């Protein structure tokens, strides 16, 4: 049996179907489908694991940057509070600094939420290959 150009497998890997019974053919198809499904699950797991690794690494870096920024903001806030206290009541100066940071926090929260919503947790390659399974079963390879 000659293998058509561009199709996977060799004549030795694919049995001659003319000599096989219907039961053997169905058993072979069942084994192939089972193998295909296991491979698709493994692909999905690998894709999700890779995305989770990226998200974890990014979150760790953001946490470190957040800590450094918090210390910087703390000392700058104390400095601004002290500077304002030279020209007005200390309580009013503290309130002004607190309102400024409340506004900054709201903006950062909104930006972070928008960024997290843009994340794509769907294993795209797995979805694409799973869409091809019904056509492959029908013999419509593209």
**DSSP code per residue over 17-57:** GGGS-HHHHHHHHHHHHHHHHHHHHHHHHHHHHHHHHHHHH
Of the candidates 115, 116, 117, 126, the one whose C-alpha atom is nearest the C-alpha of residue 48 is 126
pLDDT attached to residue 97: 92
Name residues of the chain where pLDDT drops below 50: 1-7
pLDDT attached to residue 95: 94
Q: Locate the domains of the chain by residue range.
A: 21-129
- Whether the Cβ atoms of residue 43 and residue 129 lie closer than 8 Å to each other: yes
């Amino acid at each position: 049996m000659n293998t058509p150009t561009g199709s996977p497998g060799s004549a030795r890997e694919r049995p001659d179907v003319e000599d096989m019974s219907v039961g053997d053919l169905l058993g072979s198809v069942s084994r192939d489908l089972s193998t295909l499904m296991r491979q698709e699950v493994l692909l999905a797991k690998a894709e999700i694991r890779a995305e989770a690794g990226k998200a974890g690494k990014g979150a760790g870096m953001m946490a470190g940057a957040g800590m450094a920024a918090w210390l910087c903001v703390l000392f700058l806030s104390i400095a601004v509070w002290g500077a304002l206290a030279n020209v007005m009541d200390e309580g009013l100066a503290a309130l002004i600094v607190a309102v400024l940071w409340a506004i900054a926090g709201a903006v950062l929260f909104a930006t972070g939420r928008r960024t997290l919503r843009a994340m794509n947790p769907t294993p795209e390659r797995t979805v694409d290959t799973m869409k091809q399974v019904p056509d492959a079963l029908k013999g419509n390879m593209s």
